[in-house]
Amino acid sequence: MRKLAIVAFLVFVMVPAGFPQQAKAPPAPGADFPKVVLTAPDTRSERSYLGLSGRGKFDISQIKAPVVILEILSIYCPYCQNEAPNINELYRMIEADANLRGKIVIVGLGAGNSAYEAGAFKKKYSVPFPIIPDPEFAAYGQIGEVRTPHFIGIRKTSEGDPRVFYSKTGAIGDPAEFLAKIKKAAGIKELK
Amino acid sequence: MKKFIIGVSILTAVLFLGSAAGSESDSFEGNVYDPGKLKPRDSALKVRVGGRAPDFSLPSVRGGRIALSDFLGKKNVVLSFVPAAWTPVCSDQWPGYNVIQDVFEAHDAVLLGITVDNIPSLFAWTSRMGKLWFPVLSDFWPHGAVSDRYGVLRSDGTSERALFVIDKKGIIRFIDVHDINKRPKLEDLVRQLDKL
């Protein structure tokens, strides 16, 4: 009983004082992307876009394309709403380029958003790429508690491990310039 | 002893989960003041589902005044009280309603956002939200009078995070006095609009 009282005291004193206030930083360029479990999209076309064979859970390493642009967003975030047309344009530019199609994919992660909310956002802004709902902030907490939108560029190593090559908060600006930046940072010419 | 262990476990879980309250939009660039975890509810309702919604007239950030009775017989009305400008959750709850503007329109409903802040504060705050499609009203003076009439004025002078769905006849059809620390899900409101 006395030990338990000590444990209770430590919980009261130490936890609020330290751990909860420290938001986890996202992985920096050069770091491995954490193995985060995500829910596969409902539609076959979006699963096909990601190269996933079926419903259920997946992680970034299972995406077929060697380069993934992960947008951590919230459907409630004004910047994410304003940025939607730019990201749609980025998607169209990638899909229109035979050298990039299938090699770079865009995935949205709806931090704190339910499936309904992610779907409503996709409908409102005609978002052509998948937005994975993360209603309990589970993936968000594992990746890093960033302000939204936050973009993470991930490229698979020759061993197939996802590695971060770009990580930045805020609007992407001009989609063409952003794509050029991503291509350069990812070493896109080396992609096969 | 067993109860004590369970109690400690629950407390630990609550404290740890409290740190993952949500994401912050870059729109606010760190200008959101975090008051920490608040008492989920700190008021007693003075209206009820099935009762008539008390009329009010409040100044709008866009200028002029808006009265609830303006919509009587014309539109269903959703009142969204949020606690305070420049605070977490509130700062992204309203931009979320931009995403389902079409749902409001399909249900012949308008949304009125209300806080106890004054007009200049609301102007600065909502400007950072981009373009909200619905009016934002100030219940600043007499301070929180409308919030109090509905029974959602907290003891610290802020309001609850509360939603009221009022039909075209002025009857309250749904009330959600939400945990102030949490954002109501869009689909829960849509479900209530579907019932109108």
Of chain A, the percentage scoring pLDDT greater than 90 comes to: 77
Q: Give pLDDT, residue B131.
A: 87
Cβ atoms B54, B47 nearer than 8 A: yes
Contact B16 A19 (CB under 8 A): yes
Cβ atoms B137, B114 nearer than 8 A: yes
DSSP alpha helix (H) spans, chain B: 2-17, 90-99, 101-106, 119-127, 145-150, 186-194
CB < 8 Å to B103, chain A: 120
Higher pLDDT, A54 or B64: B64
Cβ atoms B95, A76 nearer than 8 A: yes
CB < 8 Å to A16, chain B: 15
Q: Give pLDDT, residue A190.
A: 52
Ranges in chain B, pLDDT < 50? 1-2, 4-21
Nearest-CA residue of chain A relative to B183? A112
- Residue A39: both structure tokens together: 């829910």
Contact B186 A114 (CB under 8 A): yes
Interaxial angle between packed helices A115-125 and B90-99, expressed in degrees from 0 to 180 and rounded to the nearest 10: 60
E strand map for chain B: 24-25, 57-59, 65-67, 76-81, 109-115, 136-138, 161-166, 172-178
CB proximity under 8 Å: A 56-75 to B: 72, 74-75
CB proximity under 8 Å: B 166-195 to A: 183, 185-187, 190
Helix (H, G, I), strand (E, B) or coil at B110: strand
Residue A119 binned pLDDT confidence (cut-offs 50, 70, 90)? very high
Q: Where are the domains of chain B?
A: 75-196
DSSP alpha helix (H) spans, A70-137: 78-96, 115-125
Q: Does A126 touch chain B (CB under 8 A)?
A: no
Helix (H, G, I), strand (E, B) or coil at A9: helix
Higher pLDDT, A146 or B60: B60
CB < 8 Å to A148, chain B: 23-26
Nearest-CA residue of chain A relative to B36? A21
Q: Does A77 touch chain B (CB under 8 A)?
A: yes
> pLDDT per residue over A8-35, tens digit each?
444 433 333 333 345 678 889 999 999 9
- Residue B4: both structure tokens together: 């004590």
Helix (H, G, I), strand (E, B) or coil at A168: strand
- Residue A42: both structure tokens together: 């409902």
CATH numbers and ranges of domains, chain A: 24-190 (3.40.30.10)
- The whole-angstrom separation of Cα A149 and Cα B67 is 37
Task: Give the closest-approach CA distance of A71 to chain B in angstroms.
Answer: 13
- The whole-angstrom separation of Cα B47 and Cα B44 is 9
- The whole-angstrom separation of Cα A31 and Cα A82 is 30
Q: Does B23 touch chain A (CB under 8 A)?
A: yes
- The whole-angstrom separation of Cα A10 and Cα B185 is 35
DSSP assignment letter at B175: E
CATH number of B75-196: 3.40.30.10
Contact A148 B24 (CB under 8 A): yes
Average pLDDT taken over every residue of chain A:
88
